[in-house]
Structure 1
Amino acid sequence: MQGYVLFAHGSRDPLWRLPIEAVATRMREQLASSMLGGNDSAPPPVACAYLELMEPTLATCVDALKAQGVRDFTIVPMFLGQGRHAREDLPELVVELQARHPGLRFALRPAVGEDPEIVDALARLILR
């Protein structure tokens, strides 16, 4: 089973997580609506994980999704750029996860902010 993990930095402010969780909620809605009428299986789970200052950590998140049957993980860094956390810290965490869970597959996406669609959407938002 496929699962998605939105990976973000984290903050001491509990409200900071709301935009990340809003993206996860919207993904769940889109996945559910895309499966209506065509498939009896549940949509892939979507979860959030944080590097620091918030729970769950990436390892805790992967453990929880694994318990739900997820074997293929798509990890999406919710960063505007490919800074040190996305370039170094996150790949190291994924290597550790792969060592702990050799039967699982992990696909690491680039930072969302580097996608041309996101850049275009941000520019339109700022200019309106």
Structure 2
Amino acid sequence: MKRAVVLFGHGSRDPQWREPMDALAARLRQRAPAVEVFCAFLELQAPDLPGCCDALVADGIGAVTIVPVFFGVGRHAREDLPRLIDEVRQRHPGLHVQVTPAVGEWDELLDGLAEAILKRS
């Protein structure tokens, strides 16, 4: 089964805002060439999450892991994302959808950030 990872972020009117997301996607592709990696956004940038998943299914993807790239867990992660996940599941009942916690909740990310901050202090 073909699988994909979707990095899900807020989006911005500023096109440079997404550069770190695109850089993360590129690093993932380098480390796992067999995994399709995409970015999707809540608002202000394309594609949105349902549209991204529509394209994945059309391309034969059978499983997707959605990674909320939010440092804090606010209303978007608690309310908007579950609503969008429900929409994706209704549109594509055969798609296996997994959602990780927001990256700001990952201990290994926080440890890496703490280490990086100390190196620059």
Q: CA RMSD in A?
A: 0.9
Q: Which runs of 5+ in 1 are unaligned?
A: 33-42
Give 1:102's aligned residue: 93
Pairwise mapping of residues 1-128 of structure 1 onto structure 2 (< 5 A)? 1-32=2-33, 43-128=34-119
Counting strand residues as a fraction of each chain, which structure ranks higher?
2
What is the CA–CA distance in structure 2 between the aligned matches of 1:69 and 1:92, rounded to whole Å? 24
**Alignment TM-score, normalising by the size of structure 1:** 0.89
What is the CA–CA distance in structure 1 between the aligned matches of 2:88 and 2:69, rounded to whole Å? 19
3-state DSSP of counterpart to 1:71: strand
Misfit runs of 4+, over 4 Å: none
Query: How many matched pairs?
Result: 118
Decide which moves more: 10-19 or 116-125: 116-125
Equivalent pairs: percent with the same residue?
A: 53
Kindly state the Cα deviation for residue 86 of structure 1 after the two structures are TM-superposed: 1.0
What is the CA–CA distance in structure 2 between the aligned matches of 1:66 and 1:80, rounded to whole Å? 28
Q: Which runs of 5+ in 2 are unaligned?
A: none
3-state DSSP of counterpart to 2:86: helix
2:11 alignment partner AA: G
Q: Tell me if structure 2 keeps the 8 A contact 1:6–1:78.
A: yes
